[in-house]
Structure 1
Amino acid sequence: MQQLQQQEEQLNAHLIKNGVSTKTVFSHPVGLFVLFFTEMWERFSYYGMRALLTLFLVSQLADGGWQWSREDAMRLYAWYTGLVYLTPLIGGFIADRLTGYRKAVLLGALIMTLGHASMALETAGPTFFYVGLGLMILGNGLFKPNISSIVGQLYPDNSTKKDAAYTIFYMGINAGAFLGMLLCGYIGEKVGWHYGFGLAGIFMFFGMLQFYFAQRIFGVLGESPQDKRKRESDAVAGNHAARDVEEQLPRNVVRDRLIVIVVLSLSTIFFWMAFEQAGGSMNIFAKDYTERVLEGNAAVTFKWVDAALTIFPLLIVSWVLFSLAKKIFSEYPVSILFTALSFVVIWGLGIWKVYREFYALETEVAASWFQILNSFFIIILASPFSKMWEKAFNPTGPIKFAFGLILLGIGFAVLGYGSRDIPQGAATAQVSMIWLILAYFFHTSGELCISPVGLSYVSKLSPKKFVGLIFGFWFLCSAIANFLAGMSGSLIDRISEAYSISTFFLIFAVLPGVAGLILIVFSPLLKRMMHGIN
């Protein structure tokens, strides 16, 4: 109890020192939840578009698609997702040296909004589609690493709340991803591809406005380097006591911590290379190899489950918004009003979708629907994982990463087992959807051991002057992984023709599993090299 009280006092002192609002929601600074909703709508836009990309490319011309081969579609997917995670390396450098984190987030959000608008015009010609992809890549580079950096700055380095904060932030990421894949995917497949692409941009715009009108809540966090230098020059001359503690750290400590960041970052390549099959080969598996037309009791059950999956997450994030609004509406009414407006729209779309499906003559599960399972499981599991790290079982970062890799491998092993009876080289099949559901459950459990924990460790281990750049390196590894994911996914037809589709998925069971076992072996050494950041 005394230790928790000391942590609270340390956090409050940190917030006051940086001019950040000390108001809290669920025992965390209100600024965390402003970032929560900004990131939620950005992930809505990104994952809503990602849910449609390969499906749009491989769909028949008669269905409004481009009728590309699976291999070509997966290669474009590889280049797009790879570059989306490569540009944060540049965006982190720009924020560190020129704009600061807050301006970079706003500029990135604006560019991505324009990108979605361009993609919505794909019926006018492919040029708009490719320009939209390019703007999405550039905008994400400015947005992604820098909003994560602001989350880390809200907490002192050794705060036990930081891991929990990143897990809550990650819940926001996945709430947005869930709603984006659910609604953009549904509207894109059932109504029109360009409507799905355009809808993603509307909520990116709402997220940008919400963040813009609540900036003051962060005090000096995320300010530009020029503003920081001016503020420091206006301080009392000769006050050297305010120097960061890390400037006094021995170089060997800084070096060791950077090595740990590199090791953990490289291990994520094995994770994301397999995990990102979700938007590629697993999307193809859902479209062509999974039984999606339901009848009788199965159809009725699915309609109720789908309705619950639509309404339940909306209730959760609406409750979070209400809790935030009670604390900051008087000071930041415009920010809350824009967020509330976005919720009115999203509730309207959700109710419309549920109504439309209940009265549909045929129940056909959209191929993009299965991608929402990852985000749904995160919404359900994020809080238990957060409490486990904070109060019950909190192993070192390398061990958490190892657990994540092994759980991911188990998910692909399940998928490989479920597809064992598909004939060699078959272009279509009718496999039970239970195997995809189970695979996403294990993948999600693994993701919660790696991604939010990884963001927290990068924040704690990084030298403060280069935190944006190091977050960029973190996303560079994700870029490599996403590129490899798309390129390896493009081999699905070749491997299934030479061996089987089951063999294809088992490859992704073995690679992360072996990487996880290697991390377990080296975890004691990595723990020592973190020098107290445990």
Structure 2
Amino acid sequence: MATSLSSTPEIKGNIFGQKPALFVLFFTEMWERFSYYGMRVLLVVFLVQVAFGETPWDTADALALYGIYTGLVYFTPMIGGIIADKYIGYRKAVLAGALIMTLGHASMALEMEYAFYLGLALLIIGNGLFKPNISSIVGQLYDKEPELKDGAYTIFYMGINSGAFLGIMLCSYYGENPDWGYSYGFGLAGVFMLIGLVQFYFAQGIFGRIGLAPSELEGYDNDPANASAFAVEPDGGSIEGAIPAVSQGDGREGPRAIQWAFIGTGIAAVVYFLIAYFTEPQVNALQTISRQFMPPIIIGSVIAFVGWIVSDKSLLKVERDRVWSIIVFSFFIVFFWWAFEQAGGSMTIFALKYTDRTLDGDSATTFRIANTLLTVIPVMVLTYVFLKLSKITFAKYGLANSILGLAFVLVWLLVGNMLYEQFTTTEPEVAAGWFQIFNSLFIICFAPAFAKLWEQRIKLLQRGPVKFALGLILLGIGFAILAVGALSIPDGAQSASVSMFWLIAAYLFHTLGELCISPVGLSYVSKLAPLRLVGLMFGVFFVANFVANFAGGLTGSYIEPIAEAVGLSGFFLIFAIVPISAGVLFIAISGWMKKMMHGIE
């Protein structure tokens, strides 16, 4: 939706030098990420521990479903961007997506089999509408102040990670705690998603005309020169990639046709999933989808996508070379996210079955103190930000601020109860999902240092391929550490009690790798893509994430047979060798890539 942006309503005051409107988006995104990661951290554990009151699922089936779900989560934003661009506008897309996701979380909280699948489908659809379009509003908010945009996205990025941090911590604690149960974990995700929805709805006047549908804009200027074409958020990461809306303003039938071809593929995948599930036994349906049906569709779609791009006769030689370099970047990023997404899959299984999570004595005391600091300090900072926002905007948006205040009261109650229970339990048990908080925590701690590192203009690190390669190698080192930690586990063992140090160290290196990959990839797409193909080139990155997430779940589903053959250490060593090899190969071709990029650094 190419909007000619008018100024937002005048509100006196700022927060950290940024507009108050940014923090409405900050908290909306924070609660959405709370819900997404809060649910995701429980998904595999729920399936292999409880399922639907019957026999728990096999690990292979749980990880296969995880791959299908996380893969489709990266597919639907392409559709959501088109819908917002052409028809309903960014604001309505955000509201519709949030409502659909709220219903999805509510369905999963019922812990009924059919409601569970309905919930996953609603989350996939809702994410497609929500994710690309809230980040677009952020970009349009600063269309007339580009010098503030980098700082705005940095703050927005912190909202993403803050939500992920709180969602993982609280949902995993209450969901995995037998005194509470998974309904509470899934339900919490839905409650905070609803709060984000309502808060955004009652505060949306703060955005002026930004994000309205084309039919709602009076005096709308159709000049493409005034378009805010793409709002690219810093990657959230595993926390996940930025997903800008897809521009349809160039009138080219090629990009439009290929986008709708992918829409058809997505619909076919969902229909086949439903048919397979209701006509075959559960395990066969999942194996059919993940191991037989999806790979041919993915391979065929990727070939069609790439073929369509490179056969475009309107591309000049320099443009074609740069497009090829984007395709190469996308190819290598598949290896990164394929391994990285084991966080919610095989690494969660490692935490659940093979990590010593029961603490006593000094170790219990250390954990209680550390967990208290890890929890209370971030919530205090976020509460301070909320109070700053409320002080500035309460007069005009009192209802939205009251709802947001209610959310913080609820968070403090949940945090207080969690810490009380942990301090009064003789031998507290760490939730399997708790380890995933370290990704968000390390991002928040190290992102400023990496930003400073890139500013140092170190010659070697100015090359995008070298940064990519470094990210892949750091990721591989993280898995190598995990492989060392698993050496003491006998081949084929169903349980063990290795130190939690190995998981924490692995997450550290994974996050350092992510900081090399995530901020760089989307930046290079925006720099390298011809203006008329920017939307399509971002689509390439979406497909890369789609493929990586699905492949990660599929590979993780083989954890048990691989562990029986070469040990659990051998399984994780695969995820060390492949990214490191890809990183070395990328360094080897970095000179060729530099030529293909034609001066883009």
TM-score by length of 1: 0.86
Q: Which moved more, 1:378-387 or 1:392-401?
A: 392-401
Q: Does 1:27 align with 2:13?
A: no
Q: How does 1:442-521 map to 2 (within 5 A)?
A: 442-458=509-525, 471-521=538-588
Alignment of 1:114-153 (within 5 A): 114-122=103-111, 125-153=112-140
1:288-346 CA-partner distances (Å, limit 9, x unpaired): 11111111111111111111111122122223323433443344333333222211111
Structure 2 gap ranges (5+):
231-248, 251-313
User: What is the distance in 2 between the residues matched to 1:83 and 1:386?
Assistant: 31
Q: 1:330/1:277 Cα in 2 relative to 1: closer, same or farther (>3 Å)?
A: same
Q: 1:526 to 1:334 in 2, by over 3 A?
A: farther
Provide, for residues 194-241 of structure 1, a one-character-per-residue CA deviation record: whole Å limited to 9, x for no partner.
Answer: 1110110011111112222333433444332444585127xxxxx998
Q: Report the Cα offset of residue 74 of structure 1.
A: 0.9
**Given that residues 30 and 162 in structure 2 are in contact (C-alpha distance below 8 angstroms), is that contact kept between their aligned partners in structure 1?**
yes
What displacement does 1:287 show?
Answer: 0.8
2:224 and 2:425 mapped to 1: Cα distance?
70
1:223–1:244 CA distance, 2 compared to 1 (3 A): closer
Is 1:435 equivalent to 2:502 in the alignment? yes
1:198 and 2:202 are equivalent in the alignment: no
Provide closer, same or farther for how the CA distance between residues 472 and 144 of structure 1 changes in structure 2, counting only shifts above 3 A: farther
Shift of 1:64: 5.5
Q: 1:288 to 1:529 in 2, by over 3 A?
A: same
Q: Which residue of 1 aligns with 2:305?
A: none
Counterparts of 2:141 and 2:422, CA distance in 1 = 43
Instruction: Describe how 1:125-524 pairs up with structure 2 within 5 A.
Output: 125-155=112-142, 162-190=149-177, 191-227=180-216, 231-232=220-221, 252=316, 258-389=323-454, 395-458=462-525, 471-523=538-590
Residues 181 and 117 (structure 1 numbering): CA distance in 2 closer, same or farther, change over 3 Å?
same
The answer to which structure, 1 or 2, has the higher relative contact order (CA under 8 A, 6+ apart) is: 1
**2:36 aligned with 1:46:** yes
Tell me what 1:56 maps to.
46
Q: Which moved more, 1:407-416 or 1:517-526?
A: 517-526
CA distance in 2, matches of 1:493, 1:106: 42
Q: Tell me the distance in 2 between the aligned counterparts of 1:225 and 1:240.
A: 14
TM-score (norm 2): 0.77
Name stretches of at least 5 consecutive residues in structure 1 with no aligned partner. 1-14, 234-238
Counterpart-to-counterpart distance in 2, 1:392 and 1:320: 33
Secondary structure at 1:364 match in 2: coil
Q: Within 1, Cα distance between the matches of 2:9 and 2:525?
A: 24
Partner of 2:57: 68
Q: Structure 1 residues 97-106 or 385-394, which shifts more?
A: 385-394
Q: Which amino acid aligns with 1:141?
A: G
Structure 1 residues 488 and 256, CA gap change in structure 2 (3 angstroms): same
Contact 2:481–2:502 (Cα < 8 Å) also in 1? yes
Following superposition, the deviation at residue 527 of structure 1 comes to 5.6
In structure 2, the CA distance between the partners of 1:293 and 1:325, relative to structure 1 (3 Å rule), is same
Question: Following the alignment from structure 1 to structure 2, what is the Cα–Cα distance between the partners of residues 338 and 466?
Answer: 41
**Residue 64 to residue 351, structure 1, CA distance change in 2 (3 Å):** farther
Q: Which moved more, 1:315-324 or 1:127-136?
A: 315-324
Could you tell me how far 1:178 is from its partner in structure 2? 1.1
Instruction: Give the deviation of 1:156 after TM superposition.
Output: 5.8
Deviating more after overlay: 463-472 vs 261-270: 463-472
